[in-house]
Amino acid sequence: MASQIDPHAHTLHSDGTDTPEGLVLAAKRAGLDVVGITDHDTTQGWAEAVEAARRHGVGLLRGVEVSAVYQGNSVHILGYLMDPQDHSLNLLFEDARRERSTRLAQMASNLAADYPLLDWDALKERAGDAALGRPHLADELVLQGYFPNRSAAFEWALHPSGPYYVPQKVASPTEVVELIRRAGGVPVLAHPQSSTRGWRVPEELVAEMAEAGLFGIERDHRDHDAAGRETVERLAASHALFMTGGSDYHGTGKPNFLGENSLDPYILAEIEAQGTSKVVRS
């Protein structure tokens, strides 16, 4: 039987709703052989996930989804199998998480004008030390009864084109690609053609990132339409990038389900060959 690999998923260390062990168990239930833990700007979930993977007999691909910004627009870069102790990368994560918090507080204060029940302190308390993002604001707005679920809150209140939005001030995509490589990791551009975000990663930026050491580019992602997938295929061919796919599972925070997209085993082997660490296998 072909190996089932889903290399893109979140836990409550960022904006997912499962614990790392919960993610591993969900992967097992979904029949996956390997699951990737890729929280935004943190590797805090790795230790628990490694232990759970060994205990429950599921392969674990350790990764992270790093935030970058290009001309005011957000770009996400997955990094796999890097050294979690790498100093520069950890500084970048600390900066990104601090900026996530500052920026989210600004958005909360913008929103409070029209959604007065929004409680920033309660939100912070619930999130603990997770890397904060708009999904945490969405959860608070849902809890206060303003929206039925996260997706509805994203439709306009949290949308980049809406009146409350504040962009993140983080590193550039090429810097992030270089930092991941220097930390022994393997960088993959996440959902570059996501139509739901109202902006697609420009082709010239993909060229720059490829030049900086990009390994791959996500093609199979539920936010990609047919035209977007064709664009990815063309870009992958012209810049010699591997094409990946994943669910971008966030637990109950999004409809995305584990295993809805998967990664070719030969590409996982190539990621392992280029990365500093290995997939955890029980």
**CB-wise, 15 or 48, nearer to ligand AMP?**
15
68's enclosing H/E stretch is strand 59-70
Q: Per-residue contact track with Fe ion, 38 to 77, x per CB under 5 A?
A: --------------------------------------x-
The answer for residues whose C-beta is within 8 angstroms of residue 102's C-beta and 6 or more apart is none
With CB under 5 A as the contact rule, the residue among 7, 9, 11, 15 that binds Fe ion is 15
**Residue 2: DSSP 8-state:** P
Q: Of ligand AMP, Zn ion, Fe ion, none, which one does residue 36 interact with (CB within 5 to 8 Å by kind)?
A: none
In the bound state, the residue with its beta carbon closest to Zn ion is 248
- Please tell me the distance from the alpha carbon of residue 40 to that of residue 64, in angstroms, as a whole number: 6
Q: Applying CB under 6 A, which residues contact ligand AMP?
A: 15, 74, 133-135, 150-151, 154, 196, 250, 254
Cross-strand bridge partners of residue 40:
65
Q: Which residues neighbour 195 within 8 Å (Cβ) at sequence distance 6 or greater?
A: 223, 224, 225, 228
Kindly compute the dihedral angle of the four CA atoms of residues 97, 252, 278, 264, in this order, to the nearest 10 degrees.
-120
215 binds, among Zn ion, ligand AMP, Fe ion, none (CB under 5 to 8 A by kind): none
Q: Which stretch binds Fe ion (CB under 5 A): 7-15, 105-113, 159-167, 206-214?
A: 7-15
DSSP string, 113-128: TT-TT--HHHHHHHHT
In angstroms, how far is CA 254 from the centroid of its own chain? Answer: 13
The option from ligand AMP, Zn ion, Fe ion, none interacting with 151 (CB < 5 to 8 A, set by class) reads ligand AMP
Nearer to Zn ion, 89 or 111 (CB): 89
Dihedral (C-alpha) 259, 243, 37, 187: value to the nearest 10 degrees?
Answer: 180
Using CB under 5 A as the binding rule, whether residue 254 contacts Fe ion is answered as no
154 interface partner picked from Zn ion, Fe ion, ligand AMP, none, CB below 5 to 8 A per type: ligand AMP
Residue 139 interacts with which of Fe ion, Zn ion, ligand AMP, none, CB < 5 to 8 Å by class: none
Contacting residues toward Fe ion, per CB under 5 A: 15, 76, 190
